[in-house]
Structure 1
Amino acid sequence: MSLTGTPFLLTSVALLIVAIVLPLALWSRVGGPRLMRGLARLVMLLFAQITAVTLVFVLVNNANNLYGTWDDLLGTGSHVEAARDLGPDGMGGKQIKDVPKQLQTFRPADDPVVGSGVRMTDLKGRISGVNGEVYIWLPPQYDDPAYRDRKFPVVELLPGYPGSSKSWLGSLKAGEQLRPLMRSGQIKPFILVAPRTNILNGADTGCVNIPGKANADSWLTVDVRRMVIDNFRAGDTPDSWALAGYSAGAHCATKLALAHPDRYRAAVALSGYNDPAIEPDSLAGKDPRLRVESNPLHILKSANAAGKPPRTALYVSGASGDGYQAGIGLRQLAQQPTTVTVRLLSGTGGHTTEVWKNQVPEVFRWLGQRLTA
């Protein structure tokens, strides 16, 4: 039974009803010695507590897509086959143009929460050594004969931690919100790509390559990116690619876009941060060297010092103390051609999916002005 499916939700509701009715019906009818009666009543109370907590968890998880599968929740899944040292460019001595095409088989998404028309595939990362599901949402123009010779810009969607690859299409309703806006021409058509980012049990990779643990950077910026280009009419230049994330995913989007201006032109960061150590489970934040090197402020400062400020456009939004200051710090360092747009959120409801959901149309309008096919 799927963790996020309707059957599990209905089962949880049914068990809670039983847990409430059971003591009401049997409390005074429990027989036997006094000790046994007490134990039986205690078991009924515990059962009621457990089912109530379970239902609350299911409702919160379904609303926020924190855990996509039982393996994610229980920490029993494995998504890393190898984590060799791939060097500073994350390619292990190879060139992207020399990597053979990786044609995939796609199937309808396994959870209706992501909306209609979404397809998915199980990708084995040939460079990163990471395996995971990738969801693909195609714009309404993709199958229009008038666009048959057109390539489309692409946005990789990154959740927070913990977070499911379904979150942008599920909790944030990105596809559902964007489809009518793209169809009417109010927003440029994009291909949306939602890859797995939760690849290690009980740990946030910080979207970095860590030899011996996981090559999360190469998974997102090489394997997933190349797979999309190989299988869809997707643009293959940096001007056609962007990243968007919230919370821990916002940190990743900013960090990856600044570190790889040869792969991405823009990034959207919603309620994010610069210092990876802000996330207690971040492996990058626990490593003194990686904590510095994966901080977007350090990446930008180093590029500026080398006389190579990246041609990267950043959109950073957040409340005071929840992402806004991170954007201000980046804007203060930005040198042309780097640009940083910062938006202060106030009275929006905190660090929640509802806040990020409401920003989807705005950030995609902004992306439409920066990306080309």
Structure 2
Amino acid sequence: MSLTGTPFLYTLIALCVAAVALPLVLWSRVRGPRVVRAAARLLMVLFAQGTAVALVFTMVNNSNQLYDNWGDLLGTSNHVQEAADLGASGTGGIALEKLPKVRQAFKQAKGPGMRADGGVLVTQLKGRVSGVHAEVHVWLPPQYDDPAYRNRRFPVVEVLPGYPGSSKAWYGTMDAPEQLAPLMRGGQITPFIIVSPRTTLLPGKDTGCANIAGQVNADSWLSIDVPKMVMDNFRAQAAPNGWAVAGYSAGAHCATKLAVAHPDRYRAAVSMSGYNDPAAVPQSLAGRSPALRAANNPYVILKDSRVPPRVALYMSGQPKDGYEAAMALKRVAKAPTTVDVVFIPKSAGGHTMALWKPQVVPAFRWLTQVMGTPQQAGSAPGTTPLAPSSAGSRHAELASGTASPADAARRP
């Protein structure tokens, strides 16, 4: 029975009802010695508490899409087939342009949000460079199947969840397709292909999106294998100008790190509540040694870079949750690197999906500005020009953030 499936949820609800009814019916009817009666009643209490905890956990997990399956939850799911030493480039000396095309079979993905606005496709990819074998989800913009766009290629945003997190989260809990599709149709936001690969590759460990010989080549999985597969199977623009990467929490750290480390693969990155030092997450493999920490810290990469990377960064954060890390990057960034920092007040909420979900539209508006207007990206003549939207609740406005703490203080 699937961890995130409806049958499992309904089974837990039924067990919770039974757990409440059981002591009401049997509490005074238990017979036998005092020890036996006490043990039976204790078991009924424990059963009620256990089912209640399991139900709450399942509802929270389904809402935030933390664990996809039992293997992720129990720490038995391993998606690394091999982890060769691929060197500084992450290619292992392989001439990527000479690799044969990757041809994949796709099917309709299942789960919350997977059928929203055209539906999400899923495939199982065997990474030829990284040695990672895992699922990749793909959502195509409304214009993709429009005959008027049959000769157009679309820019791509690779979206990453936090840790733990599901590759479905951006489509389900974050509601990215539902939020963005109407704006794409209206010409207010560029029609992007949205790609979400699995990032939980080893049981109970955050890879930090790093290449670690003998353990995992997460960087090469995300920045080489997944993009090549997408460009080989869809009308996707070429890297780097047609590619961006976005994430929240641990995914935000990865997005920033991938962009500044590989300006030949990404043009822009979006970071929501991210951090620079991978050791900020105790489970991060990238934080296990000083050398790994430095190699996977975007602040160190930018500061020590002899040639500043041509990337644009959009970084949102609250005090002590992403804002200071973003400002540190802004201080060391040199042209052509650009860093746009969005301050989010504490009143917008904490480190949760409820904070990040309202930031999807502002982030994709920014990506539209950086990576081209809708007309440049392939919209039909006569579409609505880029303009700010007046839609959104007060909470969404707060979560969208402001340019600085001073601006936030002036907001009514």
TM-score by length of 2: 0.89
In structure 2, runs of 5+ residues without a counterpart are 378-412
The superposition leaves residues 219-271 of structure 1 with CA deviations (integer Å, 9 ceiling, x where unpaired) of 00000010000000000121100000000000000000000000000000000
The superposition leaves residues 133-189 of structure 1 with CA deviations (integer Å, 9 ceiling, x where unpaired) of 111000000000010000000000101111111111111111111111111111110
Shift of 1:292: 1.1
Q: 2:354 matched to which residue of 1?
A: 354
Tell me the SS of whatever aligns to 1:269: strand
1:192 to 188, 191, 194: 194
| Cα pair 1:159 1:249 within 8 Å, conserved | yes
Which residue identity lines up with residue 243 of structure 1 in the other structure? V
The superposition leaves residues 197-239 of structure 1 with CA deviations (integer Å, 9 ceiling, x where unpaired) of 0001111110010000000000000000100000000001211
Q: 1:270 matched to which residue of 2?
A: 272
Q: 1:331 matched to which residue of 2?
A: 330
Shift of 1:49: 0.6
- Structure 2: how far apart are the matches of 1:7 and 1:318? 38
In structure 1, runs of 5+ residues without a counterpart are none
Identity of aligned residues (%): 62
Shift of 1:278: 0.5
Task: Kindly tell me the number of residue pairs found equivalent between the two proteins.
Answer: 370
Tell me the SS of whatever aligns to 1:114: coil
1:301 to 300, 303, 308: 303
Shift of 1:316: 0.3
- Structure 1: how far apart are the matches of 2:196 and 2:132? 15
Tell me the SS of whatever aligns to 1:238: coil
Which residue identity lines up with residue 336 of structure 1 in the other structure? A
- Structure 2: how far apart are the matches of 1:180 and 1:187? 9
The superposition leaves residues 113-151 of structure 1 with CA deviations (integer Å, 9 ceiling, x where unpaired) of 333311100001010000111110000000000100000
Q: 1:84 matched to which residue of 2?
A: 84
Shift of 1:95: 2.2
**1:172 corresponds to 2:185:** no
- Structure 1: how far apart are the matches of 2:369 and 2:170? 21
| Cα pair 1:141 1:189 within 8 Å, conserved | yes
The superposition leaves residues 33-55 of structure 1 with CA deviations (integer Å, 9 ceiling, x where unpaired) of 22111111111000001001001
| Cα pair 1:177 1:361 within 8 Å, conserved | yes
Q: 1:65 matched to which residue of 2?
A: 65
- Structure 2: how far apart are the matches of 1:314 and 1:112? 30
| Cα pair 1:158 1:246 within 8 Å, conserved | yes
Tell me the SS of whatever aligns to 1:369: helix
**1:201 corresponds to 2:203:** yes
**1:242 corresponds to 2:241:** no
2:137 to 131, 135, 138: 135
- Structure 2: how far apart are the matches of 1:270 and 1:104? 31
- Structure 2: how far apart are the matches of 1:321 and 1:114? 34
> Superposition RMSD on alpha carbons, in Å?
0.9
- Structure 2: how far apart are the matches of 1:107 and 1:278? 37
Q: Which piece of structure 1 moves more, 262-271 or 292-301?
A: 292-301
- Structure 1: how far apart are the matches of 2:76 and 2:295? 30
Q: 2:110 matched to which residue of 1?
A: 110
- Structure 1: how far apart are the matches of 2:14 and 2:239? 52
| Cα pair 1:115 1:169 within 8 Å, conserved | no
Tell me the SS of whatever aligns to 1:20: helix
Q: Which piece of structure 1 moves more, 255-264 or 111-120?
A: 111-120
Tell me the SS of whatever aligns to 2:71: helix
- Structure 1: how far apart are the matches of 2:3 and 2:43? 25
- Structure 1: how far apart are the matches of 2:287 and 2:114? 31
- Structure 2: how far apart are the matches of 1:135 and 1:272? 23
Which residue identity lines up with residue 79 of structure 1 in the other structure? H
| Cα pair 1:115 1:170 within 8 Å, conserved | no
**1:162 corresponds to 2:164:** yes
| Cα pair 1:115 1:175 within 8 Å, conserved | no
Shift of 1:4: 1.1
- Structure 2: how far apart are the matches of 1:275 and 1:351? 17
Which residue identity lines up with residue 40 of structure 2 in the other structure? A
Which residue identity lines up with residue 327 of structure 1 in the other structure? A
Tell me the SS of whatever aligns to 2:313: strand
Shift of 1:112: 3.6
- Structure 1: how far apart are the matches of 2:344 and 2:64? 20
Shift of 1:310: 0.5
The superposition leaves residues 54-108 of structure 1 with CA deviations (integer Å, 9 ceiling, x where unpaired) of 0110111011111011110011111000000001110010122111111000000
Tell me the SS of whatever aligns to 2:348: coil
- Structure 1: how far apart are the matches of 2:26 and 2:143? 61
Q: 1:210 matched to which residue of 2?
A: 212
Shift of 1:284: 0.7
- Structure 2: how far apart are the matches of 1:6 and 1:188? 35
2:146 to 133, 144, 147: 144
- Structure 2: how far apart are the matches of 1:161 and 1:118? 22
Tell me the SS of whatever aligns to 2:362: helix
- Structure 2: how far apart are the matches of 1:217 and 1:99? 18
| Cα pair 1:114 1:173 within 8 Å, conserved | no
- Structure 2: how far apart are the matches of 1:357 and 1:113? 14
Tell me the SS of whatever aligns to 2:342: strand
Q: Which piece of structure 1 moves more, 265-274 or 183-192?
A: 183-192
